[in-house]
Structure 1
Amino acid sequence: MDMPRLLIVDDDTSFCMLLQGFLKRKGFEADTAHDYEKASQSLAKNAYDLVLTDYRLPDGTGIDVLKESKKLAPATVVILITAYSDIRVAVEAVKLGAFEYVTKPVNSDELFHVIREGLKKRETSEKKTKEPVRNGRKFLVGSSEEARKIEEHIRVVAPTDISVLIIGDSGTGKEYVARRIHELSKRKKEPFVAVDCGALHPDIAASELFGHVKGSFTGAVNDKTGHFEAVGEGTIFLDEIGNLSYDVQMKLLRAIHERMGRKVGGNNEFPIKARIIAATNENLKKAVDEGRFREDLYHRLNEFNMALAPLREREADLMMFAQFFLEDAVAEFDKFISGFDEEVQRIFIRYEWPGNLREMRNIIRRAVLLSKSDRIHREVLPEEIYRNDSMKNLSDDVQPVVNDLKEVKNLSEKEAILQALEKTRYNKTKTAKLLGIDRKTLYNKLHLYDIEL
């Protein structure tokens, strides 16, 4: 096997040199670039297995590097290095196709592990069209009403062949739900293939989905089998479906309607037998109204929909998820850690989790890697998650704006709701409690007053 080739993009020359030396000792060939322009030139000239880029660059950002890399070489794995204050940017990067993000200060063991996992993913992706991945991940069913409702819907829809649309913020576990549906379906022995539509450049999206014939466009040096043909009678999961271009949406609609696909540049059609599960983190109905998403495709995909709440609204399940990720990380790093101390549990419950389950998983994996104890203590957590004001407990320092909506006198109802949302940092569950109403009533009020979150 050839030595993996990496590109390090960071304006800190000393950091680049140290990291380059570290990676070479680990058996990797590593080039460096100190700004976006140099990185673009390197990406255009060379083939890289993995790109490691800082978010803040003198003439751009790591997101720019990510987009350029995905445009020139979609299979190249991109890892973003970011300060914890830029956690929302890191989540957005994952949505756009980054494999993972690592927060500063960078721990060398953690970074090396993430790089190895990224290269494993690239190797798997290269084989995907020939050998679709059969992955049966564990799925955690929570104890809350929300969790029970999700599990009930999964069990109702899984045995059918209808299309499912899963709606939820980035990192809420949409792919886990899709896999759970597949595992409980009559197609469970067939492949499950996940396609990140957000990472597909418009120029190659149709080719990735339906394949192409040799010579159909510049760079098409061989025939390619697309995901729809490769998955056969299995399940295809189209994540971030709203990012597909209008032209590709039309091709997808035709394929679903006729149950036939055609390779780019080809004349022959192949049957489409796969079940389709799609997911989005945006309001597709709004995208339809704005002309960014085809209404007919929306209705084809939305035969059954499921909405996943963000982690901050699932307090009853939060520590169950934390324990789930802890057990996975303990097995991965071969350590003995039994749980979290009480202070860490309080921190987790108070934190807002903008990156949802993905952020929690990353934080816990890092904590397990760094921990020297049999329990997770605060010292191995990123400092920002317990210093941030957003983690403060509502019961500690947030007094109700009003005791009940019925008691509102000088404030209008809309102003009271907006004020409560601001106090709870837009946590709808806590806002409803603060106002003395249930969540359903709150949602109705948000719709009535046209309050968008």
Structure 2
Amino acid sequence: MLPRLLLVDDDADLLRLLSLRLRASGYCVDAVDSAESALAHLAVHTPALVISDVRLPGRDGLSLFDEIRNSHPGLPVILLTAHGSIPDAVDATARGVFGYLTKPFDSRVLLDKVRRALDVSAPRMRYAGAHDHAWRAEIVSRSARMNEVLEEARMVATGDASVLIRGASGSGKELLARAIHRASRRADQPFVAINCGAIPEALLESELFGHVKGAFTGASMSSDGLFLSADGGTLFLDEIGDMPLPLQVKLLRVLQERAVRPVGATRARPVNVRIISATHRDLDAAMHEGSFREDLYYRLNVVRLSLPSLDERREDIPLLAGHFIQGLSEKYGKTIHGFAPEALEMLVAAAWPGNVRQLYNVVEQVCALTTTPLIPSTLVQRALRAPSVEVLTYAEARLRFEREYLTQVLKITGGNVTDAARLADRNRTEFYRLLQRHALTPAMFRLADEDALVAMTGQPKSLQGKGS
């Protein structure tokens, strides 16, 4: 569908001329001669862009812009005037007007301004009414590469085959997995995700397969695990390439038998789960090195989807940046309408080794710092020059550090709370309180320690050190 533009000018000759030029450039054009007519038109049809003269009979163009901003906050506006001045332009830009041109102007300049404005128009307007896109609503894209991947994903979603998603870190693998789930017949069942590289090996088995009460010291209640939690739905195994070899064997058995035996259980429980896995690693090389099982690889890699990097889909950068601004302006309690044209050009031209995740972090940094409705190029330049970091509150950063620190200390001490508390320079009561806050169970680290002893000695810990 061609972009629809609304022209507002009381000069009939200019209105006719601009309409002809814009239509010749591939746009649909509606033309009105007053601010009141423009508002009446907007009540029925929402265009992709408004181009308005500043001097209008009755209400002027800036007043019209204020009305548009209240009712259509994501709609870009370009103002035209024969009475322009630098102060007027600065004031209009500060209020969120996308562009400001002084008559007479070169039509090529206007067309370039229109193109830029459409690039940063709110993504929700591009997909308004696209009911058939609901399954992929979280994936903001217009690139041909991504459209190919999404078409494949939609076809794959209708079956139950295991899917392996390849893509660099931050490219959106979990979003694609969720989209496949929403487009599948399992959409009304659970979608459960786990990052296999983010959980200590000692905890991963219980997280995946569950455990029964009394299976190990500290197991005061049974836990189903994520396989059973996802029963009937989809289980997403992110960074599957980082899964330890012993757990790869157990995962393969679950996939073959379609049954899960929780830690400490004597019987397996049937489970009906679709597996979608993802990795940024080269699993072919990992198999060659012996760090990933070939039989598991072929179980997981029934269908392979490859996500392009952000550098390979640069046309999506303006859409993604505008999409992120919508949520972040609410988070920071600010009125942010978009990026200044020069700022947007910097984003499009930048290198993005961290992909969409890095772009989000940069956009969040500039949203947190901006004091104007249009984000200036100076803030973008500063954010791109500095290492891209995830913006966390002090409390969020402290909680994340605490959990990682406690996990490392428990791994060092094999789950011994007394030793761990001593290393952390905290008393046992306070240390247990910290563990409870982060839902960490020392017994799981002791279980891993005991498994290692059994592997080395061939006998349970309870028998080690005793005579035969």
Q: Classify the TM-score, shorter chain.
A: 0.5 to 0.7
> Contact 1:347–1:386 (CA<8 Å) still a contact in 2?
no
Which residue number corresponds to residue 211 of structure 1? 210
Question: Where do residues 335-374 of structure 1 align in structure 2 (5 Å cutoff)?
Answer: 335-374=334-373
Residue 270 of structure 1 pairs with residue 269 of structure 2: yes
Which residue number corresponds to residue 172 of structure 1? 171
1:165-192 CA distances to partner (integer Å, 9 max, x unpaired)?
Answer: 0011110000000000011111111111
1:332 and 1:138, CA in 2 relative to 1: closer, same or farther beyond 3 A?
Answer: farther
Q: Distance in 1 between matches of 2:178 and 2:145?
A: 19
> Contact 1:166–1:305 (CA<8 Å) still a contact in 2?
yes
1:366-420 CA distances to partner (integer Å, 9 max, x unpaired)?
Answer: 22222211111134347251489xxxxxxxxxxxxxxxxxxxxxxxxxxxxxxxx
Partner secondary structure for residue 169 of structure 1: coil
Which residue number corresponds to residue 222 of structure 2? 223
Partner secondary structure for residue 166 of structure 2: strand
> Contact 1:141–1:148 (CA<8 Å) still a contact in 2?
no
> Contact 2:228–2:271 (CA<8 Å) still a contact in 1?
yes
TM-fit CA distance, 1:284: 0.7
CA RMSD of aligned residues (A): 1.8
1:353-374 CA distances to partner (integer Å, 9 max, x unpaired)?
Answer: 1211111112212222222111
Higher relative contact order (CA 8 A, sep 6+): 2
Q: Distance in 2 between matches of 1:220 and 1:147?
A: 46
TM-fit CA distance, 1:251: 0.6
TM-fit CA distance, 1:297: 0.5
Provide structure 1 residue ranges, at least 5 long, that are not aligned to the other structure: 1-135, 389-453
Q: Distance in 1 between matches of 2:271 and 2:330?
A: 39
TM-fit CA distance, 1:279: 0.3
TM-fit CA distance, 1:138: 3.7
Provide structure 2 residue ranges, at least 5 long, that are not aligned to the other structure: 1-134, 388-468
> Contact 2:140–2:320 (CA<8 Å) still a contact in 1?
no
TM-fit CA distance, 1:215: 2.7
Q: Distance in 1 between matches of 2:216 and 2:284?
A: 34
1:176-233 CA distances to partner (integer Å, 9 max, x unpaired)?
Answer: 0000001111111111111011112111211000001123234423211100001121
Q: Distance in 2 between matches of 1:367 and 1:184?
A: 35
Q: Distance in 1 between matches of 2:332 and 2:150?
A: 30
**AA paired with 1:376?**
I
> Contact 2:167–2:306 (CA<8 Å) still a contact in 1?
yes
Q: Distance in 2 between matches of 1:140 and 1:232?
A: 26
Q: Distance in 2 between matches of 1:216 and 1:382?
A: 55
Which residue number corresponds to residue 295 of structure 2? 296
> Contact 1:260–1:269 (CA<8 Å) still a contact in 2?
yes
1:294-325 CA distances to partner (integer Å, 9 max, x unpaired)?
Answer: 10110110010111121122112221111121
Which residue number corresponds to residue 150 of structure 1? 149
> Contact 2:168–2:309 (CA<8 Å) still a contact in 1?
yes
Partner secondary structure for residue 204 of structure 1: helix
Question: Where do residues 193-204 of structure 1 align in structure 2 (5 Å cutoff)?
Answer: 193-204=192-203
> Contact 1:141–1:147 (CA<8 Å) still a contact in 2?
no
1:251 and 1:387, CA in 2 relative to 1: closer, same or farther beyond 3 A?
Answer: closer
1:384 and 1:332, CA in 2 relative to 1: closer, same or farther beyond 3 A?
Answer: closer
Residue 233 of structure 1 pairs with residue 232 of structure 2: yes
1:352 and 1:218, CA in 2 relative to 1: closer, same or farther beyond 3 A?
Answer: farther
Q: Distance in 2 between matches of 1:168 and 1:204?
A: 26
Q: Distance in 2 between matches of 1:368 and 1:377?
A: 10
1:263-299 CA distances to partner (integer Å, 9 max, x unpaired)?
Answer: 0111121112111100001001110111100101101
Which residue number corresponds to residue 313 of structure 2? 314
**AA paired with 1:229?**
L
Q: TM-score, structure 1 length as denominator? A: 0.54
Percent of aligned positions that are identical: 41
Partner secondary structure for residue 359 of structure 2: helix
Residue 329 of structure 1 pairs with residue 305 of structure 2: no
Which residue number corresponds to residue 74 of structure 1? none
Q: TM-score, structure 2 length as denominator? A: 0.52
Residue 279 of structure 1 pairs with residue 251 of structure 2: no
1:387 and 1:213, CA in 2 relative to 1: closer, same or farther beyond 3 A?
Answer: closer
Count of residues paired in the alignment: 253
TM-fit CA distance, 1:246: 0.6
Which residue number corresponds to residue 258 of structure 1? 257
1:334 and 1:256, CA in 2 relative to 1: closer, same or farther beyond 3 A?
Answer: same
1:313-360 CA distances to partner (integer Å, 9 max, x unpaired)?
Answer: 211222111112122222333432121112211211221112111111
Q: Distance in 1 between matches of 2:302 and 2:277?
A: 11
**AA paired with 1:238?**
L
Q: Distance in 2 between matches of 1:312 and 1:358?
A: 13
Partner secondary structure for residue 140 of structure 1: coil
**AA paired with 2:207?**
E
Which residue number corresponds to residue 44 of structure 1? none
Q: Distance in 1 between matches of 2:217 and 2:289?
A: 33
